[in-house]
Amino acid sequence: MPTLDTATKAQIATKVIGGFYLVEMFFKAQTLRLATWPVDVTYNGNVYKASGDLVGVGQMTESESGTPKKTTLSLSPVPAANLALGLGSVEGYRGQPVNILYWAVGDNYQPVGSPVLRFFGVMDQVSIKRSGETGSIEMSCLPGGADSSRRSLSLRMNHEQHQSRYPGERGFEYVTDLIGTPQVWLSRQFQGI
């Protein structure tokens, strides 16, 4: 659970009119800062561009262990710069950081307290969605640490690596042969058993 400041806690205890998201996308070429609010928002000396480019922020959920799951950001394809993101090279965005902050809004429709970091992670894949005459650029974002954990799952230990960690252990001795020369196994039906 993110830490809330006193003003935000007080607003939540009374009645929260709503809130909006601030999104920071750190592309290799530039940093894109967008808000789901009708006017530009300044926070920490940075200006977050008003609604228009950022069409929506996907549902942010957590697993049973409390770690966030992936989410999706929807961008408008109308500005040529956004369309270039969707059609450009994956090296410009994949694995680059993204932050999503939530800012509560009070009775007078003004932001209350300070924004709370709701999601941080890395940008993963871009797809272009079309629905009739409208469309959007969908950026899927993985939670923080997911990128490195995905890489470690694809690593395969070999006998030499296993020997360096556990000298004398022979558990990986034949793995390379088993993978390199697969054997055809006869079914029970073929064997007539």
For 107-143, what is each residue's pLDDT tens digit? 788 888 889 888 888 988 888 888 777 778 888 888 8
- For residues 87-104, give the mean pLDDT: 85
Q: What is the pTM of this model?
A: 0.66
Q: What is the pLDDT of residue 61?
A: 72
Q: Is 43 exposed, middle or buried (0-12, 13-18, 19+ CB in 10 A)?
A: middle
Q: What is the pLDDT of residue 67?
A: 62
Q: What is the pLDDT of residue 16?
A: 63
**190 vs 36, which has greater pLDDT?**
36
Q: What is the pLDDT of residue 46?
A: 93
Distance CA 118, CA 1 (A): 9
- Residue 39 tokens read as 């006017």
- Angle, CA 22 vertex, CA 18 and CA 27 arms, to 5°: 160
Residues near 7 by Cβ (< 8 Å), separated by ≥ 6? 112, 113, 114
Question: What integer best gives the mean pLDDT of the chain?
Answer: 78
Distance CA 9, CA 20 (A): 16
Map tokens 């558990």 to a residue. Answer: 171
Q: What is the pLDDT of residue 148?
A: 45
Q: What is the pLDDT of residue 97?
A: 92
Indicate if the pLDDT at residue 1 is higher than 60: no
Q: What is the pLDDT of residue 18?
A: 81
